[in-house]
């Protein structure tokens, strides 16, 4: 990479190349680097730097000799230089031809650059101020249309002369701030990335109601594991998922849990386990668990025609009650935990079997009611 004199080094390199190209001509022109000044005396070839662009390909390059030594590097300033090569005839005209010597001069320089467009570190024409190079200098002929040339000469307030454009790249300039290494490592620390957390293997039974033990088998359980039941439409008003009720551990891989509330809506939902560290979720898994409606009471003897308030879990407004497999009419939904039914007059005496269906999910049988003779 070069210093702030790198651009001047390119100027000198182009001047050296042009001098070598015209030294064998019958009329040797003067080679200069400067503005578009047509008032200078004598035959002359001039390099004029009129534009500097950033190099898109190297805008964020690493320092070529060291690479990044910090999390935020300081890339060198990478540039592309645009020159205008112009031939001025001066006073060397013969036979009324004012341009023959200037044409020969510019053609000689262009031919030399065409034959040797890449200037490496060992090239004698390379100026010491352009060193060291990140890569060889590449000199490319640019196609400038008449409008672009006219704007340049109009801005310079000069009469237009024969000119061609060249691009030179890559030029880099070192940043002013150099890298300062940090202190050496004083304390070694080894950190282990967290695992994906516990993996759920099974849940038994896969269909359960509030008050029923649910055995969850999992691998990788730790003290930070948290079990929740996903919230669904029809649940009581609130936010967030429902924490499962912990009952006991049943070995290193098994936990006994219970559905936390009897008023949750029936249906299939997700049982989640989350691994927490400092209050943040760092791993987890999910498995399916179906919440089913159930009759849990009362246990009593009733007579035909009696109105009975059933104690239920997970009932919903579309609840249906079945008595000994027969759907009862006149069922009245009161809440998720209460449903009113009337015992049909043709119900035979003796123990009965009641069950619910709600949210398109059927529940287990209940045998607590006995119909009196």
Same domain as 323, residue 265: no
Q: Please, what sign has the CA dihedral across residues 8, 12, 17, 22?
A: positive
Last residue of a domain, one of 139, 173, 207: 173
Q: Specify whether the CB–CB gap between 209 and 227 falls below 8 A.
A: no
Looking at the structure, do residues 83 and 155 belong to the same domain, yes or no?
A: yes
Q: Is 123 found in the same domain as 229?
A: no
Same domain, 153 and 283: no
Distances (CA, A) of 167 to 31, 51, 100, 170, 346: 18, 10, 26, 10, 104
Q: Are residues 19 and 146 in the same domain?
A: yes
Residue 267: what pLDDT?
Answer: 94
- 144 with 163, same domain? yes
Hey, what are 331's tokens?
A: 């069922």
- CATH number of the domain at 249, please: 2.60.40.10
Same domain, 283 and 156: no
Same domain (yes/no): 278, 330: no
Share of the chain above pLDDT 70, in %: 89
Count: domains in the chain: 3
Mean pLDDT of the chain: 87
- 139 and 271: one domain? no
pLDDT tens digits along 321-355: 999 999 998 899 999 999 999 999 999 999 999 99
Domain-embedded: residue 189? no
Angle at 43 between CA 37 and CA 45, to 5 degrees: 60
Choose one of 243, 270, 291: the last residue of a domain. Answer: 291
Tell me, what CATH number does 89's domain have?
3.30.2000
Give φ, ψ of 113 to 5 degrees: -70, -35
pLDDT value of residue 191:
53
Whether residue 83 lies inside any domain: the answer is yes
Q: What is the pLDDT of residues 221-234, one digit of tens each?
A: 877 788 999 999 99
Residue 50, in any domain of the structure: yes
Same domain membership, residue 256 and residue 154: no
Residue found under tokens 């969850």: 216
In a domain, 110, yes or no: yes
Structural domain span for residue 74: 6-173
Condensed to tens digits (0 to 9), the pLDDT of residues 235-269 reads 999 888 999 999 998 888 899 999 999 999 999 99
Q: What is the pLDDT of residues 78-99, one digit of tens each?
A: 899 999 999 988 765 556 576 8
Q: What is the mean pLDDT of residues 139-168?
A: 91
Reported pTM: 0.49
Q: Is residue 317 part of a domain?
A: yes
For residue 194, what pLDDT is reported?
A: 52
Q: Which of 269, 291, 313 is the last residue of a domain?
A: 291
Among the ranges given (87-91, 277-281, 285-289), the one the predictor scored with the smallest mean pLDDT: 277-281
Whether residues 121 and 165 fall in one domain: yes
182 assigned to some structural domain: no
Among the listed ranges 60-69, 72-81, 286-295, which one has the minimum average pLDDT value? Answer: 60-69
Q: Is residue 184 part of a domain?
A: no
The answer to whether residues 44 and 152 belong to one domain is yes
pLDDT band at 294 (very low <50, low <70, confident <90, very high): very high
Residue 107 in any domain: the answer is: yes
């Amino acid at each position: 990479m070069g210093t702030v004199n790198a651009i001047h080094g390119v100027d000198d390199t182009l001047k050296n190349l042009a001098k070598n190209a015209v030294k064998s001509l019958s009329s040797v022109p003067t080679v200069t680097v400067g503005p578009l000044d047509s008032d200078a005396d004598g035959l002359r070839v001039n390099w004029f730097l009129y534009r500097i662009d950033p190099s898109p390909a190297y805008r964020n390059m690493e320092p070529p000799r060291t690479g990044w030594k910090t999390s935020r590097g300081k890339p060198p300033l990478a540039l592309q230089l645009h020159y205008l090569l112009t031939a001025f005839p001066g006073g060397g005209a013969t036979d009324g031809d004012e341009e023959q010597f200037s044409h020969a001069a510019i053609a000689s320089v262009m031919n030399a650059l065409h034959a040797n467009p890449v200037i490496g570190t060992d090239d004698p024409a390379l100026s010491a101020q352009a060193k060291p190079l990140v890569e060889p200098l590449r000199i490319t002929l640019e196609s400038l249309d008449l409008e672009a040339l006219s704007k340049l000469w109009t801005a310079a307030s000069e009469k237009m002369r024969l000119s061609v454009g060249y691009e030179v790249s890559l030029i880099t300039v070192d940043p002013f701030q150099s890298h300062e290494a940090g202190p050496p490592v004083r304390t070694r620390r080894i950190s282990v990335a967290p695992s994906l957390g516990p993996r759920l293997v099974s849940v038994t039974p896969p269909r359960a109601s509030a008050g029923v033990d649910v055995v969850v088998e999992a691998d990788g359980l730790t003290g930070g594991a948290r079990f929740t039941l996903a919230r669904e439409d029809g649940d009581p008003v609130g936010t967030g998922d429902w924490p499962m009720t912990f009952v006991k551990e049943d070995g290193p891989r098994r936990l006994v849990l219970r559905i936390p509330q009897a008023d949750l809506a029936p249906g299939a939902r997700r049982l989640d386990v989350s691994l927490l560290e400092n209050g943040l979720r760092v791993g987890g898994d999910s498995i399916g668990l179906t919440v089913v409606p159930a009759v849990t009471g009362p246990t009593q003897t009733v007579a035909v025609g009696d109105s009975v308030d059933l104690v239920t879990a997970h009932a919903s407004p579309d609840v249906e009650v079945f008595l000994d497999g027969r759907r009862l009419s006149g069922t009245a939904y009161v809440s998720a935990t209460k449903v009113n039914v009337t015992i049909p007059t043709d119900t035979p005496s003796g123990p009965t079997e009641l069950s619910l269906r709600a949210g398109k999910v059927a529940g287990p049988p209940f045998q607590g009611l006995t119909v009196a003779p």
